[in-house]
Amino acid sequence: MNAKQLIEDNNRKRELLTTENEEYYGDLLLYIRLKLTLSEQQSEEVLMELLDHLLDAQEAGKTAREIFGDDPKGFADAIIEHLPKEEKRKVIPFIGGIIADIIGWILVIRGGLLFILSQFTEVEVKSTVHPISTIGIALVLASFVLFTIFYIFKIIDRSLFTEKPNAKKDSIKAGLVGALGMAVVLLVVKFLPEIGPAFVFPWWVSLIVGGILLFSMYLRKKRKEE
């Protein structure tokens, strides 16, 4: 069974857990899944084994705490220690796929917007691109988004296995990081001059290139599923 099927199976089977066992196992599951460097396939296989074991124990009237122990974090860390890391040859295409998807969507929306705007405004719509500045802004934005997502993952990670996590404080922290980060990004965008060569990138080229990129990503996904 591949990781996707295991996740679907896990979601279905988890419904059979009691609320108490679901809380325990749910935290365990999230804690392991948030360790993004681990092999997804191996992690899901171990999670499924644990779930099957827990379901059997539940039928015998036992709780997760009774079979996995009172220290769920320690138990999870022990499992993580034995899990292999995700292979680099799988990580690179995964991240590359996300980046290609985002660029594809930006190009398609840009093309559509430029076309619509040119129909409604008499002033010529600016379709010149400064690649160096645009890539610079894209990198700053991508770093900001990645940093915020990892920060949120850290917050979730820290609040797992605690009886009363401080939800309000965590939300304020996440909100502040998001707002301050965005302020920094906007300042960079404001003061970054348009440097380097520029070329005209009309709406139809943008639409075609974006469309090809998205279609090839779709084909890649389909081929992977087969």
Judged by the rule CB under 8 A, the positions of this chain that interact with another protein are 14-20, 22-23, 102, 105-106, 109-110, 113-114, 126, 128-130, 134, 137-138, 141-142, 144-145, 148-149, 152, 155-156, 159, 163-165, 167, 171, 174-175, 178, 182, 185-186, 189-190
DSSP of 152-212, one letter per residue?
HHHHHHHHTT-SS--HHHHHHHHHHHHHHHHHHHHHHHHH----S--EE--HHHHHHHHHH
Is 27:18 a contact under the CB 8 Å cutoff?
no
CB of 95 to another protein, least distance (A): 14
Is 153:34 a contact under the CB 8 Å cutoff?
yes
CB of 74 to another protein, least distance (A): 19
CB of 59 to another protein, least distance (A): 9
Is 48:4 a contact under the CB 8 Å cutoff?
no
Q: Which is nearer to another protein, 97 or 165 (CB)?
A: 165
Q: Which is nearer to another protein, 52 or 87 (CB)?
A: 52
CB of 89 to another protein, least distance (A): 26
Nearest to 213 by CA among 116, 124, 98, 120: 98
Q: Which is nearer to another protein, 87 or 166 (CB)?
A: 166
Q: Which is nearer to another protein, 80 or 156 (CB)?
A: 156
Measure the CA–CA gap between 24 and 203, rounded to whole angstroms. Answer: 52
Q: Which is nearer to another protein, 91 or 189 (CB)?
A: 189
**Residue 206 CB burial class (10 angstroms; 0-12, 13-18, ≥19):** buried
CB of 149 to another protein, least distance (A): 6
